[in-house]
Amino acid sequence: MVRLGQNFLADANLLEAIARDADLDPRDVALEVGGGEGALSDRIAPRVAHLHVIELDRRLAGDLEAMSARHSNLSIVWGDAMRVDLRALRPSPTAVVSNLPYSIATPVLLRTVAELPEVGTWTVMVQREIADRLRARPGSRTYGAPSVLVQLACDVELLRTVDRAVFRPRPRVDSALLRLTRRGPAAPPDLARLVRDAFAHRRKPMAGSLELAGGPSREAVRTALGDIGLDQRARAEALAPADFVRVAERLGVR
């Protein structure tokens, strides 16, 4: 049965591989978003000091509570991962390991990058399309605001592609296992907004897109682009993540 859009991993070998790929330290505090029936939780908990599992579907309470009874270091947080106060989790997570619910994979990743500064690594199963988007390079069709915001803080590595046949029920898309390794802090809120606004009108030059979104004037943006040696009519997709930081600095955005 599909539980609130979740697709459960049904391949024991792959579950073991994910736990190994996460390369967890016994001192780590792991966060799993979308615990499902607990198959991955059962493999993560013995490897870490503590495991937080966030799950929305209370019909899975029997499976997860049985899992919690087997692992004294596992705590269950019932709720929507987009609404749970991540900063209130104690002890604070240092790693994220999840088969992320497809419907919220990108926003959840961005939330954890921004709100959990102690997290150093993410080992996450996502749709292949999302994996390609988060790893995309400037100028590609899939490069966008999520690519920039993730890459400003993290290195992104494709660990393996995953066939849809290993899920129950079988999804309509292929998946991929990603590793994110933190390089630095998340983009501050004002910079993150500038990045999103820059891509809001993809077919327009960045200067026009920002002005239409209520941001800096076209002229100010064109001047900033010129100051760093870029085409004043460049679209957002032409800028590397570091270029957004340089433009923001010249616009007084921190």
Interval 98-117: pLDDT, tens: 999 888 999 999 999 999 99
Average pLDDT of the segment spanning 167-175: 81
- The pLDDT assigned to 30 comes to 98
Residue 116 CB neighbours (<10 A)? 21
Q: Looking at domain 189-251, what is its CATH homologous superfamily?
A: rRNA adenine dimethylase, C-terminal domain (1.10.8.100)
Strand ranges (E), the chain = 8-9, 29-33, 50-55, 74-78, 95-99, 121-127, 154-162, 167-168, 175-182
Which among 56, 59, 49 is positioned nearest to 95, based on CA atoms? 49
Q: What angle do CA 113, 96, 151 make, to 5 degrees?
A: 35
Interval 112-159: pLDDT, tens: 999 999 999 999 999 999 999 999 999 999 999 999 999 999 999 999
Interval 65-103: pLDDT, tens: 888 889 999 999 999 999 999 999 999 999 999 999 888
Distance CA 195, CA 34 (A): 28
Q: Where are the domains of the chain?
A: 8-182, 189-251
Q: What percent of the chain is modeled with pLDDT above 70?
A: 97
Pick the CATH number of 8-182 from 3.40.50.150, 3.30.465.10, 2.40.37.10, 3.30.420.590: 3.40.50.150
